[in-house]
Structure 1
Amino acid sequence: MNLKIHLVTGNNHKVEEIRSLADNELTVVPISDLVGEIEVDEKGDTFLQNALIKVETFRHLGIPLVADDSGLEIDALNGFPGVQSSRFMEGRPYSEKMAEILQRLDGEKNRKARFKCAAVFYHPSGVVLAVEGTVEGSIAYEIRGEQGFGYDPIFVPDGYDRTFGELGQEVKSIISHRARAFKKLFSLLRLFFSNIDTEKHHKSSE
């Protein structure tokens, strides 16, 4: 049983990361393969609302969809950048975004932070599944590492002394917010689709 789901994102890094979390029964395809460049007005107040907005935007296609929204919350900045993580200093490279955040934290001893991810699955039957994943950590005092993407080079997950930018995908695929969210979601998807197959079998046997 091979299941194809279309991921609502224009971020190639995210596509590869989520593909790496899927098993052989799941094929993750970017929605851009069907519709070209995508544009979604992410105006939600939470990560979950933004993920739901993404699937709602393409619900008319009548195919299974998956979307997520995620971001970095920093306690000393009252949760900033939060849902604005990708739109903060929009159009500027993440090296500049990270430098600005480090400047705002200059002299701040409380470096506690977390990455959060909300992931949503939509099925044309009207079924919606939603999960969340979180990884706690702290903000480094400098940008370190060139692996990963986004704010990875300034985030040190709890239990480690290196940033995600230094630890790389091998560790991220186990403990990251996105890994935790999508492992939950993919487990639910296998149950959901196995139930659909069971129902089809029963109906064909009647």
Structure 2
Amino acid sequence: MIYVATTNEHKVHEIMDILSDFNLELLKSPKKVDVEEDGKSFFENSVKKAYYYGMELNNPVISDDSGLVINALGGMPGVESARFMEGYSYEEKMKELLRRLQNFNDKSASFVCVATYFNPNSGVLISAQGVVSGTISENIRGEFGFGYDPFFIPEGYDKTFGELGESVKRQISHRSRAFRKLFELLKKVGEI
């Protein structure tokens, strides 16, 4: 049994779907553990969450930290993706980012995810990174996914994650890439 170190239902559902072919029992954390995500990188925040949840639950955990990196805006919102314009809806956040991008030709961006496994009993801590490159669309489109999905167009597609739907996102997303890499590593070292 491995706990997912989050109380975000969307994230738990997405991770469980991604890892369904590994035949593992993944459970949402039974409680929220207060972890200040003050790291300067996705890696730092992911490791910090895994460590604190693992120690609190005394059980193997997986965590992640992820976000949107917009090149023309110096990488913002980056590690602050969830906290950018805190208290505002994602629609309002996307509108503000589109406003800030209006004078730039470069609309390139990427979603980045660092997934981490920590087992407090064995001391094993492993992380893997997944990245999906793409562009920011001219407007917000689609009802699928969550967060910034409705205005991010992954490379090789002409629709946003919000339009493509869960089955496509499950195959190509940053989170999918990170967790698949992570679980392949865990198989190799005998943790699963």
Taking structure 2 as the reference length, what is the TM-score of the superposition?
Answer: 0.94
The answer to whether the 8 Å contact 1:51/1:67 transfers is yes
Deviation at 1:24, TM superposition (A): 5.0
The residue number in structure 2 matching 1:202 is: none
The residue number in structure 2 matching 1:99 is: 95
Matched, 1:79 2:75: yes
Matches within 5 A, 1:30-69: 30-31=28-29, 33=30, 35=31, 37-60=32-55, 61-69=57-65
The answer to whether the 8 Å contact 1:10/1:38 transfers is no
Identity %: 48
- Residues 33-59 of structure 1, C-alpha deviation per residue, up to 9 Å, x if partnerless? 2x2x34321000000100011012123
For 2:86 and 2:142, locate their aligned partners in 1 and report how far apart those are by CA, in whole Å: 22
For 1:117 and 1:63, locate their aligned partners in 2 and report how far apart those are by CA, in whole Å: 22
1:109 to 101, 105, 110: 105
Matched, 1:133 2:130: yes
Q: How well do the aligned residues superpose, as a CA RMSD in angstroms?
A: 1.4
2:18 to 18, 21, 43: 21
- Residues 133-177 of structure 1, C-alpha deviation per residue, up to 9 Å, x if partnerless? 000000001000010001000100011000000001111111110
Deviation at 1:111, TM superposition (A): 0.2
Where structure 2 has 5 or more consecutive residues not aligned to the other structure, the ranges are: none
The answer to whether the 8 Å contact 2:33/2:53 transfers is no
For 1:66 and 1:193, locate their aligned partners in 2 and report how far apart those are by CA, in whole Å: 16
Secondary structure in structure 2 of the residue aligned to 1:142: coil
Cα gap change, 1:24/1:46 in structure 2, threshold over 3 Å: closer, same or farther? closer
The residue number in structure 2 matching 1:203 is: none
AA aligned opposite 1:176: S
Deviation at 1:185, TM superposition (A): 1.1
1:70 to 66, 71, 86: 66
Bigger radius of gyration, 1 or 2?
1
Secondary structure in structure 2 of the residue aligned to 1:193: coil
Taking structure 1 as the reference length, what is the TM-score of the superposition?
Answer: 0.88
- Residues 84-141 of structure 1, C-alpha deviation per residue, up to 9 Å, x if partnerless? 0000011211011111100111132110000000000001210111100000000001
For 1:24 and 1:141, locate their aligned partners in 2 and report how far apart those are by CA, in whole Å: 38
AA aligned opposite 1:111: K
The residue number in structure 2 matching 1:185 is: 182
How many residue pairs get aligned? The number is 189
